[in-house]
Structure formats: structure tokens, C-alpha cells
């Protein structure tokens, strides 16, 4: 690893666009001081953020490490820490971080850190990686021992982090991976977090307009009143699950969100399953948020528009709080079905933009181009 003159180590955070860049920019504000305090010996650090899609066209960690090495050499950077929101795999295992002490490189897959306290975990991981790369052991020609303690920022009760195999021809000399069901769950949560499922709500304007219109009409329909009063709680639950499931399935099928791997390897199949699981959870969370929003809006609309005497004359039931709640619940299910039909008016690009991070959209565009060829 090179060290700049005047005792200043230049650290570059090479981040994929969107969420990784935002995380890198936030941590860059305090990272130089924190690194200086932890490293001691009067060392100083300069941190700069470079936002570019460095993972474009590949998910292969050795290829990405070579790209980082070439980029860092061309720009004369001392240490390069790359952040991506793509889940990376190596030798059939889910990658947490790759390090090259000889070249001053670290490749961090953010989904492997999980979905909670991501900013804090990412900052700690970057700090430990930089300190390891900038330390005296990083300047030697020997490969660092596999027991080198970097597990702190990554490990926890929810995921078994351990050193992974590194090929002799690879740029990396130290690798940490996650495995097992808990590791799969942590990676899945991190992928869903990267997709930001809450953005699905404002991203589907036509579907929401159809759902709101359906709910407004259904709320003042006497047939809807009678059905809501006649349905038991289990049937209301079934209606809710059915409408939400229909909306999720329709969005995935209509916008072609299902990932179909053209590779026959076991690793490719496992990777496709992970992507599809994250798609279902991402869209599911977004649809559930829409459903709850529709319930609240329908309840407010019912409180404003319904007349208790008219309602009682049609249903032979007084209009009390329970009736308002039951009607709003049932109408939300009906409106969700209307929203599913309205989502057909959305372009596939709009749905993908609402459901996925920018880097995941790029990955899927590349796959579609490959299938088209």
C-alpha cells in the first residue's frame, strides 16, 4: 500500500450511485477525525467520495477488485474502499468484505450488514477496514493471517461471519463471508433495505389513483355496506390476504420482476432465489403500506360521508365505531384489487424504479439485454 507524503493518507470511498453514495457522503463528514483518533501516531487522513457505477456489468468480486486496483492506481489513491448495494457471492458463499493489504483495497457489500443501523455498521466496517489496510502489517509482503480481527463491525448473534476461501490468483488476501440460514436472512433484509420498499407507494401513482377511486365509490355503495356487515372476521382476513397477494403477484408478473437465471450452476440458482425473495418482500412491504394507507383514508372518508340513519335503514345495524372499522377494512381490500388493475397502466420502468435501487435496476436491464441478444 502506498502512503502519501506529509503523513496524509488519502482514502477514497468508491460508491455505487443512490444509497451507497448517500451512506459514503454521510460517513465522510466524520471519518477523517475518527480514523486519526483511532490510528494515533499523528497520522492524518483525507477522505473523498467518488460516486460511479463501478459494479456495472459484473458481480464477480475478483473482477471488481481488479477494477478498483486499476482505478486507484490511475488516480494515485492510497486506500480505496468500495461500497455497493449488490449482494456479492464468492465460492458459493455470500460475501461481506474483500481486502487486499498489498494494494490498499476493500470491497464491502452493504446488504451483508443487514437492514438495521446500516449507517453505523457501514461506518464501523469502513473504519476497521481502513485501519487494517493502513496499519504496519499492511505494508509487508506477507499475506495477513486469516485470524486477523476484523469481525467486530460485521459479526453478531444474527449472522455467523467467518473467513472465506481466497484463490491464489485473486487480488484479495483476506475475505469474510456469511453463511447459514441466519446469514441468508441477514442478507435478505439488507437487500430489501437497499430497495427501500417505502418508495413503492408514491411510485405507483396510477395504481393509487385507481385504488382511491375504487375505495371512494365502494364506501358509499349500499351493497358494500351489507357485505361488510355480513362478513365475519376470518373472512375479512381472507379478503385482505387475497387482495394483497393479488396485488403483489400482479405487480411482479406484469412488470416482469421475477428473476430467471440463464446459468445452470447451483450458485446462479441460489442467487436468483435470493433476488426473487427480496423482490417478493420488497413489493409485499410496499403493498402493505398502501393497504394501511387505504384503510385510513377510507375511514376518514366514511366518517365524513356516511349518514347513520341511511346506513341503519339499509343494513339494520346502527352505525357505530365497529361498523366504521369493518367497512373501512373491507373497502381497503376491494380498493387494493382496483389498484392491482390500475397498476397495469403503469410502465414496467416506473414499477421497477419504485421497487428497486438504481443499481438493481441497472443489473436487471443488463439481464434483459442479454436475454434479448
159 CB-near residues (< 8 Å, 6+ apart): 112, 114, 178, 180, 182, 183, 185, 186
C-alpha to C-alpha distance for 3 and 310, rounded to whole angstroms: 81
Instruction: From residue 96, give the alpha-carbon distance in Å to each of 61, 90, 164.
Output: 11, 10, 10
Q: What is the pLDDT of residue 137?
A: 46
**Average per-residue pLDDT for the chain:** 82
Taken in order 265, 271, 275, 280, the sign of the CA dihedral is positive
Neighbours of 89 (CB within 10 A): 20
Please say whether the beta carbons of 212 and 335 come within 8 A. Answer: yes
Average pLDDT over residues 195-207: 79
Whether the pLDDT of residue 350 is over 70: the answer is no
Q: What is the pLDDT of residue 1?
A: 46
Angle (deg, nearest 10), helices 222-230 and 321-342: 110
Q: What is the pLDDT of residue 4?
A: 55
HSE at residue 289, side-chain half, CA atoms within 13 A, is 15
Reading the block at residue 186, the C-alpha cell is 441477514
Whether the pLDDT of residue 189 is over 60: the answer is yes
Q: What backbone torsions phi and psi does residue 94 show, to the nearest 5 degrees?
A: -85, 125
Q: What is the pLDDT of residue 139?
A: 46
Angle (deg, nearest 10), helices 233-254 and 348-355: 110
Question: Residue ranges of the alpha helices (H) in 9-151?
Answer: 19-28, 31-39, 61-75, 118-134
Give, rounded to a whole angstrom, the gap between the first and last alpha carbons of the chain.
42
Question: Given the C-alpha cell 416482469, which residue does it identify?
Answer: 256
User: Which of 54-58, 93-97, 122-126, 265-269 has the least mean pLDDT?
Assistant: 265-269
Residues in a beta bridge with 89: 94
Reading the block at residue 109, the C-alpha cell is 457489500
Whether the pLDDT of residue 113 is over 90: the answer is no
C-alpha to C-alpha distance for 90 and 99, rounded to whole angstroms: 13
Q: What is the pLDDT of residue 145?
A: 46
Average pLDDT over residues 126-148: 65
Whether the pLDDT of residue 2 is over 70: the answer is no
Question: Given the C-alpha cell 402493505, which residue does it identify?
Answer: 288
Confidence of residue 186 (pLDDT cuts 50, 70, 90): confident
DSSP state of 175: E
Instruction: Choose between 235 and 357: higher pLDDT.
Output: 235
Whether the pLDDT of residue 266 is over 60: the answer is yes
Q: What is the pLDDT of residue 347?
A: 66
Instruction: Choose between 10 and 354: higher pLDDT.
Output: 10
Return left, alpha or beta for 41; rule: phi > 0 is left, psi -120 to 50 is alpha, else beta. left
pTM value is 0.78
Average pLDDT over residues 290-296: 93
Q: In this structure, which long-range contacts are made by residues 264-273, counting pairs with CB atoms below 8 Å and at least 24 apart in sequence?
A: 266/92, 267/89, 267/92, 270/89, 270/92, 271/87, 271/89
Taken in order 202, 205, 209, 215, the sign of the CA dihedral is negative
Reading the block at residue 201, the C-alpha cell is 407507494
Q: What backbone torsions phi and psi does residue 162 show, to the nearest 5 degrees?
A: -150, 160
DSSP state of 150: -
Whether the pLDDT of residue 170 is over 90: the answer is no
Closest CA to 282 of 177, 163, 192: 192
Amino acid at each position: 500500500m502506498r502512503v502519501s507524503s506529509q503523513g496524509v493518507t488519502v482514502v477514497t470511498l468508491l460508491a455505487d450511485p443512490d444509497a451507497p453514495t448517500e451512506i459514503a457522503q454521510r460517513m465522510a463528514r466524520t471519518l477523517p477525525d475518527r480514523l486519526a483518533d483511532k490510528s494515533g501516531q499523528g497520522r492524518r487522513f483525507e477522505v473523498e467520495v467518488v460516486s460511479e457505477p463501478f459494479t456495472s456489468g459484473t458481480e464477480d468480486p475478483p473482477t471488481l477488485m481488479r477494477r478498483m486496483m486499476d482505478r486507484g492506481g490511475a488516480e494515485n489513491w492510497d486506500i480505496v474502499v468500495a461500497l455497493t448495494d449488490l449482494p456479492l457471492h464468492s465460492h458459493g458463499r455470500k460475501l461481506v468484505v474483500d481486502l487486499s493489504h498489498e494494494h490498499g483495497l476493500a470491497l464491502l457489500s452493504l446488504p451483508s450488514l443487514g437492514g438495521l443501523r446500516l449507517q453505523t455498521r457501514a461506518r464501523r466496517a469502513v473504519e476497521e477496514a481502513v485501519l487494517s489496510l493502513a496499519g504496519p502489517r499492511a505494508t509487508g509482503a506477507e499475506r495477513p493471517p486469516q485470524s486477523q480481527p476484523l469481525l467486530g463491525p460485521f459479526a453478531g448473534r444474527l449472522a455467523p461471519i467467518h473467513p472465506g476461501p481466497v484463490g491464489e490468483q485473486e487480488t484479495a488476501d483476506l475475505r469474510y463471508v456469511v453463511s447459514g440460514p441466519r446469514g441468508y436472512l441477514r442478507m435478505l433484509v439488507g437487500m430489501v433495505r437497499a430497495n427501500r420498499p417505502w418508495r413503492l407507494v408514491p411510485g405507483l401513482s396510477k395504481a393509487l389513483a385507481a385504488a382511491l377511486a375504487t375505495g371512494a365509490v365502494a364506501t358509499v355503495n349500499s351493497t358494500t355496506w351489507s357485505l361488510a356487515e355480513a362478513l365475519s372476521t376470518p373472512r375479512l382476513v381472507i379478503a385482505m390476504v387475497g387482495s394483497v397477494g393479488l396485488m403483489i403477484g400482479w405487480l411482479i408478473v406484469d412488470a416482469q420482476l421475477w428473476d430467471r437465471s440463464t446459468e445452470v450452476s447451483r450458485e446462479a440458482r441460489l442467487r436468483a432465489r435470493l433476488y426473487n425473495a427480496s423482490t417478493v418482500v420488497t413489493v409485499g412491504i410496499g403493498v402493505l403500506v398502501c393497504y394501511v394507507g387505504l384503510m385510513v383514508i377510507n375511514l376518514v372518508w366514511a366518517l365524513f360521508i356516511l349518514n347513520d340513519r341511511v346506513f341503519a335503514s339499509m343494513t339494520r345495524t346502527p352505525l357505530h365505531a365497529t361498523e366504521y372499522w369493518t367497512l373501512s377494512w373491507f373497502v381497503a381490500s376491494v380498493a387494493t384489487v382496483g389498484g392491482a388493475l390500475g397498476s397495469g397502466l403503469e410502465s414496467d420502468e416506473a414499477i421497477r424504479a419504485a421497487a428497486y435501487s438504481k443499481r438493481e435496476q441497472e443489473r436487471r436491464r443488463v439481464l434483459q439485454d442479454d436475454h434479448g441478444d
